[in-house]
Homo-oligomer: A and B are copies of this chain.
């Protein structure tokens, strides 16, 4: 039996990209407007009772120097309670969970969860991802994000015969899906040959194995399940969620062919939703690198450990495959504006469950969609949210 205490009654995002022309507040306002406009029976923006803002590194930037509490004023809601949620790459996913708990607690009925991140206003060198290694001053020396994930690719190849072509097939699929997504940062197809021939970043990961740095924002509107029909006749419910932390540093990991936090978080989410992986119709998972998606689809239980690469190469995760993965284009093509990422993934799940995904629409059989992020020195924390169209 799914949790189903909270409904998603609206969701939307802005076109992802290098948005130098938009301020942090502009992006937030755009996402909020999109979410409000998406509500089938209309939604008075002033009805929002509280907001949760996901921004990972706001304090490193100018505009958003003070966490999320400048957002309400900027989007016309000055006065409402507003809390910033930060949880590394899953910041948006976790804000969604916290927002859902706020509704379930009966303290607030109508809650806005909004993710915003400016990634491109500084040079790449000064930028966000180059600081991802911030942590212990000795243990983490030189550990940029590609450095944190490459060893998993190397070990997965060694243990299971995963190939660079299999990794590349993830990028090919996700860029294909992104080309169908009007909100994606990149909207061009790529070939396996192009991925293989792209410049090396951290062997065996090449440029097209990596997600871009992207500016973006996304928002969802939550309501108690029993009030969902005030806003829509096609509500989507929060079926369950799970969060798990892991020891954050590489030298503490017990395995380099899977991410323990993802396994643990998904078990909690499946238990809360009362389902298993076989019940999931589509998923949006954390493909910061091609190898990450392969780890994810195994750790989330869609494929046996070691079989994720083959499954991708054989099309089992494509739009028409057994379990469509990253129908939006994923982080690789849609982009990874960190605080916004999880909420943009949830928006895609919401569209898919409602049959609104256009050319990207997949078959919805059981009525469940899963959203996943992992982050925090690579894999220090994972969040899984499960949505359902079933009442």
Report which A residues bind B (CB closer than 8 A).
Answer: 5, 50, 56-57, 59-60, 62-63, 65-70, 72-73, 78-88, 94, 97-98, 100-102, 104-107, 131, 133-137, 140, 242-248, 252, 264, 268, 375-377, 380-381
Contact = CB atoms under 8 A, between A and B. Distances in A.
A273 B120 CA distance: 45
15 contacts: A57-B59, A65-B140, A66-B88, A66-B380, A67-B88, A69-B88, A69-B380, A70-B377, A73-B247, A79-B264, A82-B243, A83-B87, A100-B105, A101-B101, A101-B105
A245 B72 contact: yes
A4 to B, nearest CB: 13
Given A70-B376, A73-B245, A83-B98, 9 more contacts: A5-B105, A56-B59, A57-B59, A59-B60, A62-B136, A63-B136, A65-B131, A84-B87, A104-B106
Q: Which 8 A-B pairs have the closest CB atoms?
A: A65-B134, A81-B243, A104-B105, A69-B381, A101-B105, A105-B105, A84-B86, A65-B135
A84 B86 CA distance: 5
Given A59-B134, A60-B59, A107-B104, A248 B73 contact: yes
Contact of A245 (B82, B133, B140): B82
B247 A66 contact: no
Contacts of A88: 66-67, 69
Nearest to A265: B81
A18 to B, nearest CB: 20
B107 A101 contact: yes
A41 B82 CA distance: 36
B81 A377 contact: no
In the complex, which of the residues A63, A82, A101 has the most CB atoms of chain B within 10 Å of its own CB atom?
A: A101
A38 to B, nearest CB: 24
B69 A245 contact: yes
Contacts of A97: 83
Nearest to A52: B98
Nearest to A84: B86
Contacts of A252: 73
Contacts of A78: 245-247
Contacts of A246: 73, 78-79
B66 A135 contact: yes
B69 A87 contact: yes
B63 A135 contact: yes
Contacts of A59: 56-57, 59-60, 86, 131, 134
Could you say which of A65, A69, A82 has the most chain B C-beta atoms within 10 Å of its C-beta?
A: A69
Nearest to A67: B86
A65 to B, nearest CB: 3
A85 B83 CA distance: 7
A299 to B, nearest CB: 15
Contacts of A60: 59-60
A62 B134 contact: yes
A265 to B, nearest CB: 8
A87 B246 CA distance: 25
A140 B252 CA distance: 43
B377 A66 contact: yes
Nearest to A101: B105
Nearest to A89: B66
A56 B84 CA distance: 10
A239 B84 CA distance: 23
Contacts of A80: 244-245
A134 B24 CA distance: 14
Contacts of A264: 79
A243 B107 CA distance: 12
Given A59-B134, A104-B105, A83 B79 contact: no
